[in-house]
Amino acid sequence: MKKEKTNHQAAVERAMEAIRQAQKERGDAQWRPAYHVAARAGWINDPNGFCFYDGQYHLFYQYHPFSAQWGPMHWGHAASPDLVHWNHLPIALAPGEPYDKDGCFSGSALEKDGKLYLLYTGHVDLPPGNSRGQDRIETQNLAVSEDGVHFEKYAGNPVISYPASGDIHQGHMRDPKMWRREGRYYCVIGSRKASAEHGQALLYTSEDLIDWKFVSVMASSDGDLGFMWECPDFTQIGETGLLLFSPQGVEPQGRKYLNLHQSGYAAGTLNYGTGVFCREPFELLDYGFDFYAPQSMIDDKGRCVMIAWMDMWKSEMPEQKNGWAGMMTIPRALSVENGKVIAAPPEELKHLRVGRITREDVAVGEATRLDGVAGDVYEMDLTLDLSGADGCELSFRVSKTQRTTLRYDKSSRILSLNRDLSSVGPKGERQAAVSLEDCLLKLRIFMDRSSIEVFAQGGRRTMSARIYPGKDATGVLFAAEGEMRIRRLDFYPLKQIWRCD
């Protein structure tokens, strides 16, 4: 007998039809990424459910397939055998049940008994003046798949509602991130206090992913770390526990915290007995303009790999006029050195390379171009010797009127990324403290059609930004105050991984 289509299946089909239509109507492709994950059409934000399942990396994401603006959230889905080549898969989750009718918000994935489980936030908007006195209800819900592609929502949802007691705001509780440890399951959930505008993270535990118990407030803001912690994530690298989170409402401090919301981590130790995470101070995970809601996973090789949304809330997104909005960073492999996170491109990304130009020992003073070093989709690895220079300036995506600049000032040890002249789109400058090692500055730059990601000193500092240069803005210029030596430059054009974009 033919099974009746569930509400969920019908909602997924409507959304898939909307994508097919929107893809046909999509505008100019000039800013479409060649090798980053972006949706075929429509709006995306946070990475969700990043995991390794059945031989592939799976990356879900917050998705509004019906327009290039944020709207009722679905989960989009892409998969990759190697973190390099990605394929689009059908939408995994669509909103529509009483507990998620206004959105399937962020969450995570875990394999259990060969099945893939998603734990996500069901978001319901409440009308003004309702009896709860809140504008929303957020609960945590499960969906399960046997093939990693088609998901069924669990009939007993929600599996987590607000705890009955505790200093927990009854309107904000979202973005569960699960992990397994010694046969038990845990999840950390973003939250805020009821008594004050302080963000916090809640710890839950379960034996079967269905029956969850509140353990404790795992960590919280002591007043200067924002009013809400979104997208918390806990991972362990060697001896170091890492709580990643995205605090909203942190005030700017000097050159730090200039983006609308922040994303970073606190290193520390989670006491599984009390559920309390004893933490070191908050550190940013990226010093650029566009980096939010990172999510990590441990892969089959035991590596911790993180990916983030490479955009910022309320930022101008010129690609919206072309029918799409938002993209992910490249995946970044995390390690810890002296309690600080290093985020570097994983080895596999070398498979993107389709050519190479190498230059060694080039002296640079005045603005210099190097033969063949130009383009809009490339990786560039540089070792710069600044012993004879006070600083240097590298310009990318250069045309007569446009450029995106990366400047290093030796006396202040500041690396600055400036997009004032990048072209249309958001402008400004971001800065990061970077120390030289033996007067050497090592940079790895990943350029795509509308993004730049800078990895300085092996990933000890990263800076990510969306930029929207014209098609002819492909030049690269090197300049120095004094004399800089490019000890070595490797320039790699990168390939287009999307087959039918």
Which H/E stretch holds residue 105? strand 104-112
Where on the chain is the footprint of ligand FRU (CB under 6 A)?
45-46, 62, 73, 105-106, 121, 174-175, 230-231, 292-293
**Under a CB-based contact definition with an 8 Å cutoff, are residues 246 and 227 in contact?**
no
Beta bridge partners of 292: 309
Nearest distance from C-beta of residue 73 to ligand FRU, angstroms: 5
**Under a CB-based contact definition with an 8 Å cutoff, are residues 397 and 473 in contact?**
yes
Residue 207 in tokens: 């034996």
Nearest distance from C-beta of residue 161 to ligand FRU, angstroms: 16
Q: Which is nearer to ligand FRU, 108 or 423 (CB)?
A: 108
Q: Rounded distance, CA 427 to CA 135, Å?
A: 34
Nearest distance from C-beta of residue 62 to ligand FRU, angstroms: 4
Nearest distance from C-beta of residue 400 to ligand FRU, angstroms: 37
Q: Which is nearer to ligand FRU, 174 or 460 (CB)?
A: 174
Query: Scanning the structure block, which residue is given the tokens 């734990």?
Result: 119
Nearest distance from C-beta of residue 174 to ligand FRU, angstroms: 5
| 323 DSSP 8-state letter | T
- CA–CA distances in Å: residue 269 to residues 235, 241, 278, 491: 11, 5, 5, 41
Nearest distance from C-beta of residue 493 to ligand FRU, angstroms: 33
Cis peptide before 81 (omega within 30 of 0): no
Q: Which is nearer to ligand FRU, 62 or 259 (CB)?
A: 62
Q: Rounded distance, CA 125 to CA 137, Å?
A: 7
In one-letter notation, the amino acid at residue 16 is M
46 is catalytic: yes
Beta bridge partners of 120: 107, 141
Q: Which is nearer to ligand FRU, 262 or 431 (CB)?
A: 262
| 490 DSSP 8-state letter | E
Q: Which is nearer to ligand FRU, 110 or 231 (CB)?
A: 231
Q: Which is nearer to ligand FRU, 38 or 293 (CB)?
A: 293
- CA–CA distances in Å: residue 383 to residues 247, 411, 431: 34, 19, 20
Which H/E stretch holds residue 27? none
Q: Which is nearer to ligand FRU, 106 or 139 (CB)?
A: 106
Residue nearest to ligand FRU (CB): 105
**Under a CB-based contact definition with an 8 Å cutoff, are residues 84 and 351 in contact?**
yes
Catalytic-labelled residue, pool 28, 46, 147, 222? 46
**Under a CB-based contact definition with an 8 Å cutoff, are residues 446 and 453 in contact?**
yes
Buried b or exposed e, range 257-293, using 16+ CB within 10 angstroms: bebebbbbbbbbebeeeebbbebeebebbbbbbbbbb
Beta bridge partners of 187: 178, 204
Nearest distance from C-beta of residue 246 to ligand FRU, angstroms: 6
Positions annotated as catalytic residues are 46
